Structure 1
């Protein structure tokens, strides 16, 4: 139970940091927004943060292959992100923006996957080197 709460709060914390960065950019560029708009976007960020905090549990399942873990995580991420993005207004409910956002979503996911894979390979090499010594 502690781990569930911890991961939820890590997700909420990341959402808060990202929201603060976006608000900072808005302030620097003198962009005005209503409290209602800010509340809705913050709500969406918190939901996404909690989701990704919980979704990390998928990668703790050692009985699944990395391909299955990644595939399930990707599909769940789409199922959570798109309804929320359409509801909050991050993606306009029109074909072109949905397709373009899907391409950007996939590209971002692939970049994160490549970064994680690179990091795990580096860790694997470091562990193998320490065993050989």
Structure 2
């Protein structure tokens, strides 16, 4: 069992890693979208950067839900999805304005988020199933 200090330091490392990834992705997207422009409004850049960094930190830490061994994969996924909706939709709407606060836009944003979440989940599930298959084959060869 992990000690409290180990868990806290793991969370801190994950937060800063997520902040860094979010910041880097914002830098890349900003460079690609605004290449050739002399100036990008500072407020827009700051809000997008902050939003991306929060999302990166959230996903880095929330992945720990998938390490709770007492929970089924279904429970881990449902709790992670619901927590993601509650934590991230304020970032998508109020903070960054990526999704306007209008019913149709919110529905489209939710559908896009859910579709992206499902594709990501299927990708990871397939990856780990493939890894499981390879490990089992390796064990069979040893015996």
Q: Normalised by the size of structure 1, how large is the TM-score?
A: 0.93
* Residue 4 (str. 1) matches residue 11 (str. 2): yes
Q: Which residue of 2 aligns with 1:74?
A: 81
- Give the number of the structure whose alpha-carbon radius of gyration is greater: 2
Q: Which residue of 2 aligns with 1:25?
A: 32
Q: Which residue of 1 aligns with 2:58?
A: 51
For 1:129, which of 129, 132, 137 is the aligned residue?
A: 137
Contact kept? 2:18, 2:59, Cα under 8 Å: yes
Q: Which residue of 1 aligns with 2:70?
A: 63
RMSD value over aligned CA atoms?
1.4
The number of aligned residues is: 133
Contact kept? 2:34, 2:40, Cα under 8 Å: no
Displacement of 1:29 after TM fit?
Answer: 6.2
**What is the distance in 2 between the residues matched to 1:29 and 1:116?**
37
Gaps of 5+ in 1: none
